[in-house]
Amino acid sequence: MFLQITDKNRRDAQRGVREAKPHMKPLPQRKSPRLQGYDYSSTGAYFVTICTHQRLHLFGEIVDGMMRLNEAGHVAYTCWQSIPDHYPDIDLDAFVVMPNHTHGILFLQGENDQFKTLLGRVMNAYKGAVTAQVHTHQLFDGIVWQSRYHDHVIRNETSLNQIRAYVHNNPARWSEDTFFSEGWRRRSDPHRWMQNTADVPLHVPTNDGQKS
C-alpha cells in the first residue's frame, strides 16, 4: 500500500523538522588520514596501507605463516608492481598483499616539472586498476576497496628499516595483526604501532638506483 502524501502530511512533516532542529546534533566530521599541509608531490618515502571494503578477505589466506594469494590477490600484486610503468618517478620498495589489505613502501622522486605525481593520484589509479581487473575477470562483483587509504611519511632510515621488517613479517604475524580480529574497530589508524624515530636521515634512491 502506497502512502498518500496530502498537504496536511507535508505541513506536519515540515513542522516536525522545524521543531526537531534545535535538538539535532551536528554529524561528526571524519578526520582526514592525510597529513595537514603536507605536499604529497614532494620527494620522499611513503608507507601506505589500503584496506578492502568492510575488511573482506578478498585476496587469499594465510597458511603456515605464508600468504597464499588467490586470483584477486595476484591482480593486487601485479598491479602494484606495474606502478612504475605508469609513473616513472615512483620507485617501489617492500610490499605485501594480505587477505584484506596491502602494505607498501614507495619512493616518490618529484622531479617531473611538467606533471606532478601526487601520492593520492597513484593510489587511486592502483585501486581503480585492481577493481577493473577483478570485475573484468569476474573474481568479485562488489566494492573492492575502502574509499580511503592510510599513509605515513617516512623521515629517516631507522623508520624505513623498521617498516620494511614489519611488511616482511606481516604474514607470519597475521594472528597479531590489527586487521585479523575485531580489534581493528577500536584502532582506526593501522600505523599507530610505529614509533617516532628521528636519528639517521633518510636518503631517497634516484631512478638509477643511487641514493640522493
The one-digit pLDDT tens for each residue of the chain (212 residues) are 333 334 444 444 444 434 434 444 444 444 444 445 545 566 889 999 999 999 999 999 999 999 999 999 999 999 999 999 999 989 999 999 999 999 999 999 866 555 678 889 999 999 999 999 999 999 999 999 999 999 999 989 999 999 999 999 999 999 887 777 543 443 445 555 454 444 545 555 555 555 54
Which are the contacts of 92, defined by CB distance < 8 A and separation ≥ 6?
Answer: 80, 81, 83, 84, 104, 105, 106, 107
CA distance 75 to 72: 5
Direct distance between the N- and C-terminal alpha carbons of the chain, in angstroms, rounded to an integer = 71
CA distance 90 to 88: 5
CA angle 12, 16, 20 (to 5 degrees): 175
DSSP state of 81: H
Return the CATH fold of 35-184: Alpha-Beta Plaits (3.30.70)
DSSP state of 17: H
The residue extents of the domains of the chain are: 35-184
Identify any residues that bridge with 50 across adjacent strands, giving them in sequence order: 102
